[in-house]
Each structure stands twice: as C-alpha cells, then as structure tokens.
Amino acid sequence: MRKNIVAGNWKMNNDLSETETLISNLLKQKQTSNAEVMIAPTAVNLYQAFNSTKNSNIEVIAQNMHFADNGAYTGEVSASMLKSVGIQTVILGHSERRAYFNETDELLAKKVDAALKNNMRVIFCFGEELADRKAGNEEKVVENQIKNALFHLDAAAFKNIVLAYEPVWAIGTGETASPEQAQDMHQFIRKTLNNKYGEQVSQDMTILYGGSVKPANAKEIFGKQDVDGGLIGGASLKAEDFIAIVNAF
Ligand SMILES: O=C[C@H](O)COP(=O)(O)O
C-alpha cells in the first residue's frame, strides 16, 4: 500500500553516545504528520537504537546487508543477524554503496532476494549521475537500475519494496532536484512499473525522493503527486530538522 515515509540515513555518523543523544532528542519532538518515520544508524548501533525506540513510532532500519545467510564474509552482516536485533527494513543500492563498494545491479538483485526471503522490507535506491542527466540519459539509467535489480521479482514481492530515487548529483551537494524534476522522474518510475506489472503495483508503490532535502524545501517536494516521502541524509542528523521534514506533509 502506498504510504508517506520519511527515512533518515545517518550514513557513517554518530557513535553510541551520539546515537543515544540524537534518539533522545528525536523522541522529544512533536510529530504532527502521519508519515512513517525511520532512522538508519550505523550497524554497530542498531541494537541499542532498536531498544531505545521500542515504545515510539520510530522504526530503526539498516543501511546495508550481505546476500548470504552466514559464512566466510569478513566484516559483513546478514539479514538474519539484522532480524535477530529487531531490524525489519534495510536500505539497499545506495549510490555510496554503488560508488565506493562496487555494488552492481546483479549483486543488488541477490541482496534484494536475500532480504525478501527473510521477510524484510527493502528501501531500494537508484538514481542517475550528473553526466547521465547532462546527456539526457537519466530515464534510461534509472529504468535499467530498476529492471536489472528488481524485474526478476513477481508482482507480490513489491509489497515489501519501497523505491528511493536519489539523483547522485543532488546527494550531499546542497543541490536539490527541482520539485518538477523529482515529479517527472517519479512519474516515469511509476510508468516503468506499470508497463511490467500493471496499474495496481504501480499505484501502490511508495516512491521516496532523496538528495539535499531540508526543512526549507521538503514541503514543495513532498507536495508533488508521485513523491511519497524522502530519504534524508545530512538533515536527519539534527532532530529538529528531521522532524520538521517529517512534518512537511
Ligand atoms: O540517503 C540519503 C541521501 O544520500 C541524501 O543525502 P543528503 O540528504 O545528505 O543529500
């Protein structure tokens, strides 16, 4: 079912004490919208964060996971390990994972399968780079990212998938896609889903926008018809800013 979601991707920020402080500040804020709220602390702090948010409406989610259940993959974390500390949702395919850890569409397809097999929800990220947009190839790039990692799934699997369009040129740069650019791409994503899976999957899909969303621009971006929420980086590290974005619906 299509929902409004605001998810904070903390990336590699906040040690344990900073994690506790930020959560405690978040819990003091007043939420006036009914958007689902998620935070993604670093893996080592997930268990603590899960426990600290237990009696709240904040869902703690993971930033990444491996595709295998267990085994000789030094430094990695599996879906079942995440679930064992209470985590039900994982971000996959973030552009930083693609760029710095060589995550390909093929690898991401395996990760998506592993998450779904473990009954986890996936926030699947994708988006074009600046050169793609300058060349007018943004739709082709996005279409391929979605097709390559997700189109082996059946329609029912999409109930557990949220899409996050994040143009790489807008991440952490202060440069936001205009609300119209975001809307155009989200509409194109829905059309891509419609072509393969039909109207129901397309209309039920929750599609988030990510890339320099701030309290000052969130309302306008979330106001667009096909934008269902945001994946927030920098602005999720300050409780007041993050909740202001949550309340922008
Ligand atoms: O996962 C979040 C995105 O990378 C957006 O980050 P940003 O809000 O700092 O641009």
Domain ranges of the chain: 5-246
246 C-alpha vs ligand 1 centroid, how far in Å?
15
For the stretch 34-63, pLDDT in tens is: 999 999 999 999 999 999 999 999 999 999
Q: What residue owns the CA closest to ligand 1's atom 6?
A: 233
Provide CB contacts within 8 A for 224, sequence distance 6+: 179, 180, 182, 183, 186
| Mean pLDDT lowest among 31-45, 67-81, 162-176 | 162-176
Residue showing tokens 């060589």: 102
239-246 mean pLDDT: 98
Q: Is 17 annotated as a binding residue?
A: no
Residues annotated as catalytic (active site), given as ranges: 94, 166
pLDDT of residue 175: 79
SS3 state at 160 = helix
**Range 5-246 has CATH code 3.20.20.70:** yes
Q: How far apart are CA 169 and CA 94, in angstroms?
A: 13
First-to-final CA distance of the chain:
18
Question: Which residues form ligand 1's pocket by a CB distance below 6 Å?
Answer: 9, 94, 166, 171-172, 210-213, 231-235
Question: Can you tell me the ipTM of this complex?
Answer: 0.99
Global pTM value: 0.97
Q: What residue owns the CA closest to ligand 1's atom 8?
A: 233
For the stretch 106-132, pLDDT in tens is: 999 999 999 999 999 999 999 999 999
Q: Helices marked H in 38-178 — which ranges?
A: 46-52, 79-84, 95-100, 105-117, 130-134, 138-150
> How many Cα atoms within 13 Å fall on the side-chain side of residue 86?
14
Q: What is the DSSP letter of 62?
A: B
Q: How far apart are CA 221 and CA 226, in angstroms?
A: 10
For strand 161-165 and strand 207-210, is the pairing parallel, antiparallel, or unpaired?
A: parallel
Q: What is the strand order of the sheet 58-60 is part of?
A: 58-60, 36-40, 5-9, 229-232, 207-210, 161-165, 121-126, 89-92
With a cut of 90, say whether residue 177 has pLDDT above it: no
* Mean model confidence pLDDT for the chain: 97
SS3 state at 111 = helix
Q: How far apart are CA 10 and CA 58, in angstroms?
A: 14
For the stretch 180-218, pLDDT in tens is: 999 999 999 999 999 999 999 999 999 999 999 999 999
For the stretch 210-239, pLDDT in tens is: 999 999 999 999 999 999 999 999 999 999
Q: Is 234 annotated as a binding residue?
A: yes
pLDDT of residue 201: 98
